[in-house]
Amino acid sequence: MSFYSESKDELPPLGALTLDYTDDIHRPPGDVIMSISYDFPVIQQQVTNATLVNVVKSEQFDDDYINCYVEACNKLEDKGCIGIVTSCGFLAQIQDKIASRINIPIATSSLLQIPYVLATTSSKNMIGVLTFDSKTLNKNHFNGVGVTDEMIKRIVVVGCKPNNPLQRIIKFGDPYIAKDLEEELVQMAVDLVKENPNVKSIVLECTNMPPYSKAIQERVGLPVYDGITMVNWFYSGLKCKTLPKDENFEAGYRKRVRSDKELTYNT
């Protein structure tokens, strides 16, 4: 098993852009921006004016507003972060616009995984996306992370309802009742698969959804990708893991036999 040879505190930190809440929501283990969710440290940096209404929107951001994110990224770089993630999947629309203005890698959204997930399953299959707001999520967000219009044809999007737990928690600061939130998200996935039997994988857009990925998978029996799977992959490239020592290295000294069929390879 590969592992980080340093202790968690010794590893270089990952930066996380956070929204501009008056009083942030409860964030349990599994929330994408929480250090407790990983084997490496995470440093948070609030983005000025990154309110819900300014982030979860269908229109493209203007340059002045994007600079608020760039400034926050630069602060995280100054703090020693080797990469950056965000606290909202809707920031997918500015992936390239931020990446082109900062010095360290950034992964804005779990939606970055969609091209990979599509490639891992038959072209006859669809993938489902569970999102905070299906009315707002559009091609600006998908295109922003390399999901082409042709790929979008293979995506089924399902969003949280306004009066259900997740939207009320984030919009109005309602109490965070994990059981209620789990029931909402699992039922969304169940309904999605029932209505779309050709959906063979699920991607969770919202950074608050990963604590319930396992419950979703156990119920629908499909691969589930979320912000945590994206961040773990992202960081593992920024800071490579150590492999176990090869205790059988002397066996490698033996010359291996090759037959005529193998020796016909033209170099």
Query: Can you tell me the distance from the alpha carbon of 120 to that of 58, in angstroms, rounded to the nearest whole number?
Result: 29
Task: Tell me how far apart the alpha carbons of residues 159 and 230 are, in angstroms, rounded to a whole number.
Answer: 20
Confidence band (pLDDT; 50, 70, 90) for 75? very high
- Confirm whether 191 is domain-assigned: yes
**Which pLDDT tens digit goes with each residue over 84-94?**
999 999 999 99
Q: Is residue 54 part of a domain?
A: yes
Q: Is 117 helix (H, G, I), strand (E, B) or coil?
A: helix
Tell me the chain's radius of gyration from C-alpha atoms.
Answer: 21
Residue 147 resides in a domain: yes
pLDDT tens readout for residues 16-28: 999 999 899 999 9
Structural domain span for residue 16: 8-238
The answer to whether 68 and 50 have CB atoms below 8 angstroms apart is yes
Token pair 């945590």 is at which residue? 228
Confidence of residue 1 (pLDDT cuts 50, 70, 90): confident
**223: CATH:** 3.40.50.12500
Helix (H, G, I), strand (E, B) or coil at 202: strand
- The average pLDDT across 182-211 equals 98
Nearest Cα to Cα of residue 185 among 132, 231, 138: 132
Residue of higher predicted confidence among 256 and 210: 210
Tokens of 189: 């996935």
pLDDT given for residue 207 in this prediction: 96
**pLDDT higher than threshold 90 for residue 265:** no
C-alpha to C-alpha distances, 209 to 36, 132, 182, 186, 228, nearest whole angstrom: 15, 9, 9, 10, 10
Could you tell me if residue 261 is inside a domain?
Answer: no
Tens of pLDDT, residues 146-175: 999 999 999 999 999 999 999 999 999 999
Reported as a pLDDT band with limits 50, 70 and 90, residue 266 is low
In a domain, 247, yes or no: no
Query: Would residue 266 count as lying in a domain?
Result: no
- Domain-located, residue 67: yes
Q: How many domains does the chain have?
A: 1
Strand partners, 43: 15
Q: Which among 46, 104, 64, 101 is positioned nearest to 234, based on CA atoms?
A: 104
Does residue 248 belong to any structural domain of this protein? Answer: no
